[in-house]
């Protein structure tokens, strides 16, 4: 039986063959990997982007999308991009924290006042600075995609941080996410997303945290019937491209790709709102309880994280203050 690595190699080899074939027709093919299904809002937004790029460049630049983690997890796809086997990856700010420290700001709990503040930060000067901050790591961000607010879900209501005490909570491999769960009294457990359903079902972890569409579409709603709306973070998805691929495009084509990416971000807002409403309704139909929580107690519990950043990372704390000041 082929190993996972050999399967990935075979798929990448096929992708490279496609790229060579495309180049024979004087077209540049950018391979894009992500870990969601074709039904997910972010896939639909990126599909619209790919069509716009192909149209505005008269077919000279094409984006080929590989959904469903066909080319590996987000971290594996990032490594493939850095090695030149991929050109684009849809990841998120939590994963990117390991590559560019500025993304850590997005992972701070209760940083954003509301959705309007969240969007204004992304679409302004600070948002662009953060997208460019990873250039030394071999890639830059093109745009952000709405991924809603993340909340806890488990087999019981979480009304205050005290309810998380002693619980094993699955988190993304992000220092900020780990620190947040620890500050709230839980035991942070980094775990691959694809393993989470079984982990919840078998009690390997007691709880997890994510947005409503991911909770529903991953079927976690089948094994965790309480979704507590603490909305601790608003961590955006991020579309990144290797600097070699982007810098290798003509100025005209760079503009076309960037413009299409920004347009897909705006489309994503509408798609996300629709998806969130639909997935919540589906979850309620199978008996999920959505719990309103005492957010003030959560805000108080995570304040030491801000104190720690102010003391040990003045540069990041300055960025956080700039974000808080965004109107």
Question: Which residues, 6 or more positions from 285, have their beta carbon under 8 angstroms from its beta carbon?
Answer: none
pLDDT (0 to 100) of residue 13:
55
Checking if the pLDDT of 142 tops 50, the result is yes
Any domain includes 12: no
Same domain, 258 and 315: no
Q: Name the domain count of the chain.
A: 2
176 in the same domain as 223 = yes
Q: How far apart are CA 14 and CA 18, in angstroms?
A: 6
In a domain, 47, yes or no: yes
CA dihedral 169, 170, 174, 175 (to 10 degrees): 30
Asked whether residue 37 is assigned to any structural domain, the reply reads yes
What gap in Å lies between CA 299 and CA 30, rounded to an integer? 42
Identify whether residues 157 and 176 lie together within a single domain: yes
Residue 25 above 70 pLDDT? no
* Pair (127, 38) in one structural domain: yes
Q: Per-residue pLDDT for 208 more than 80?
A: yes
Which domain CATH number covers 182?
3.40.190.170
In a domain, 3, yes or no: no
**Together in a domain, 100 and 249:** yes
Helix, strand, or coil (residue 250): coil
Q: Containing H/E element for 214?
A: helix 212-217
Domain annotation covers residue 4: no
Asked if pLDDT for residue 22 goes beyond 50, the answer is no
Domain range spanning residue 168?
Answer: 150-234+284-325
Q: What is the pLDDT of residues 64-94, one digit of tens each?
A: 999 998 998 888 999 999 999 999 999 999 8
Torsion of CA 286, 92, 269, 279, to 10 degrees: 0
Same domain, 121 and 215: no
Question: Is 36 domain-assigned?
Answer: yes
In a domain, 260, yes or no: yes
Whether residues 305 and 316 share a domain: the answer is yes
pTM here is 0.85
Q: Are residues 228 and 308 in the same domain?
A: yes
Same domain for 204 and 271, yes or no, is: no
> Which whole-number Å values give the CA distances from 301 to 56, 153, 182, 296, in the listed order?
49, 18, 10, 9
Q: What is the average pLDDT value for the chain, to the nearest integer?
A: 92
* Distance, C-alpha 211 to centroid of its chain: 11
Helix (H) or strand (E) holding 21: helix 4-24
Based on the domain organization, do 82 and 226 belong to the same domain?
A: no
Q: Are residues 196 and 134 in the same domain?
A: no
Q: Do 181 and 195 form a contact (C-beta atoms < 8 A)?
A: no
The average pLDDT across 195-206 equals 96
User: Is there a single domain that holds both residue 101 and residue 250?
Assistant: yes
pLDDT interval class at 192 (50, 70, 90): confident
Please report whether residue 219 resides in a domain. yes
Question: Is the pLDDT at 7 greater than 80, yes or no?
Answer: no
């Amino acid at each position: 039986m082929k190993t996972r690595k050999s399967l990935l190699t075979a798929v990448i080899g096929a992708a490279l063959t496609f790229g060579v074939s495309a180049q024979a027709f004087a077209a540049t093919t950018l391979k894009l990997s992500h870990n969601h299904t074709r039904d997910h809002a972010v896939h639909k937004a990126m599909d619209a982007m790919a069509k716009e790029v192909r149209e505005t460049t008269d077919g000279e630049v094409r984006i080929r999308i590989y959904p469903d983690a066909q080319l590996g997890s987000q971290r594996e796809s990032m490594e493939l991009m850095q090695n030149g086997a991929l050109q684009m990856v849809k990841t998120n700010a939590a994963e990117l924290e390991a590559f560019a420290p500025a993304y850590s700001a997005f992972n701070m709990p209760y940083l954003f006042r509301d959705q309007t503040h969240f969007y204004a930060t992304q679409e302004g000067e600070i948002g662009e600075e953060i997208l460019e901050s990873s250039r030394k790591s071999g890639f830059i961000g093109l745009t952000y995609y709405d991924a809603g607010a993340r909340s806890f879900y488990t087999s019981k209501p979480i009304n205050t941080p005290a309810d998380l005490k002693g619980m094993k909570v699955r988190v993304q491999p992000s220092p900020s996410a780990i620190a947040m769960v620890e500050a709230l009294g839980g035991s942070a457990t980094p775990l691959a997303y694809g393993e989470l359903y079984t982990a919840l079902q078998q009690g390997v972890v007691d709880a997890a945290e994510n947005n409503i569409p991911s909770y529903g579409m991953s079927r976690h709603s089948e094994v965790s019937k309480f979704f507590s709306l603490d909305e601790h973070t608003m961590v955006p998805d991020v579309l990144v491209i290797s600097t070699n691929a982007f810098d290798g495009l003509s100025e005209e084509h760079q503009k076309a790709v960037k413009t299409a990416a920004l347009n897909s971000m705006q489309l994503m807002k509408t798609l996300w709102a629709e998806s969130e409403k639909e997935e919540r309704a589906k979850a309620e139909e199978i008996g999920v309880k959505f719990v309103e929580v005492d957010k003030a107690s959560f805000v108080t519990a995570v304040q030491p994280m801000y104190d720690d950043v102010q003391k040990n990372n003045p540069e990041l704390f300055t960025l956080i203050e700039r974000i808080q000041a965004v109107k």
